Amino acid sequence: MTAETPSPLFYNAIGPWHRWFAWRPVDTVTHGWIWLRVVERRRIQLKLSLPGPIRQDWQYRKETA
């Protein structure tokens, strides 16, 4: 059984996890900084109930087996 990766506090996940090659250093939720390896990432967006512009970003995690 795998545990669900938590979402950042003020963001909602708006896309599924997909494989991506980390050609630059990325800070993962599960294992810290990873570089030059395959990781999983998904698109996240600032919650719409918060004031200000809509902001999108990526969330990364180590690839699951």
Q: What is the pLDDT of residues 16-28, one digit of tens each?
A: 999 999 999 999 9
The neighbouring-strand residues paired with 46 are: 11
10 Å Cβ neighbour count for 34? 18
pTM comes to 0.81
DSSP designation for 8: P
pLDDT < 70 regions, the chain? 1-3, 65
Residue 65 pLDDT: 65
